[in-house]
Amino acid sequence: MSRDIRRVGVVGGGQMGAGIAEVCARAGLDTVVCEADALAAQAARDRVAASLERAVRHGKLDPPQAQEVLARIAFTGSLEDLADRQLVVEAVTENPDVKAEMFTALDKIVEDPEAILATNTSAIPVMRLAMATSRADRVLGLHFFNPVPVMPLVEVVTSLHTRPEVAAVAEEFVTATLGRTAIRSRDRAGFVVNALLVPYLLSAIRMAESGFATAADIDAGMERGCAHPMGPLRLADLIGLDTVAAIAESLYEEFREPLYAPSPLLQRMVQAGLLGRKSGRGFHTYV
């Protein structure tokens, strides 16, 4: 199997997909982002462009470099444009049925028999997605963290079918090509980070729900008392409360531990569209 991955596809141009595409393009890779249609593809392009503008303002890139990065990314509304990719990272909505359908489609479209199909899922079992394809041995998880251009970690998640050499190629891609830190995880809901993080976030949500303390005081307590860079409720808002709820549901389905169950307040906030930073309001308000 070739270890020189130069052509990458990303399915989904939301916050995570756009970030993954940006990181790949910054590494000099030929990158294609596929969205549902041309309008969504343009929105994905705008998302990447805005992120690169922030990088310029913060002195991480100069304007010509930012233009070069954006020029390396093609945006499309057609999955067929991913046919020649060596690696495709799926970053669509955190819904197992939607993701499985996407893997079935990619399996038919991506031509290279040695191509790797990866999911950026936060908690959905990789095996479920792998079995939606005819190449389960070449499917794994590459779980990036938000915001992708800033966060250095990627979880490499292998299923029972993933070939060791496929995992090795993926890990080398993460570390040598993207310059990220890779950690390995078995295919259990939540993997390493979210299996530890989400119960903590859910505990903070229950504390706010019970009236034990305000959201501001809970966050201040962990920021000032434990030197956390961000309190748990602000972090939940940043991740997206819908994503937190989806991860919690996957964890609870697998482990049946009460600490993983999403609280009624979290469920109601998701139903109300109060999703955190991306909607302008969650446990805190964002302008």
Check 51, 120, 122, 185 and give the catalytic one.
122
Active site residue 146: no
> Which of left, alpha, beta for 256 (phi over 0: left; psi -120 to 50: alpha)?
left
Check 22, 35, 155, 171 and give the catalytic one.
155
Give Rg (Cα) of the chain.
19
- Give the count of beta carbons closer than 10 Å to the beta carbon of residue 243: 24
Active site residue 155: yes
Distance CA 27, CA 13 (A): 18
Check 51, 159, 185, 194 and give the catalytic one.
194
Active site residue 51: no
Distance CA 117, CA 169 (A): 12
Rounded to 10°, the helix 241-255/232-239 angle is 100
Distance CA 8, CA 186 (A): 24
CA separation (Å) from 18 to 47, 63, 106?
7, 19, 19
CA separation (Å) from 119 to 23, 99, 129, 150, 184?
16, 8, 8, 20, 14
Check 90, 120, 143, 250 and give the catalytic one.
143
- Residues 164, 165, 171, CA angle at the centre, nearest 5°? 90
- For 66-129, list the strands marked E by DSSP: 73-76, 87-90, 116-119
Active site residue 284: no
Catalytic residue numbers read 122, 143, 155, 194
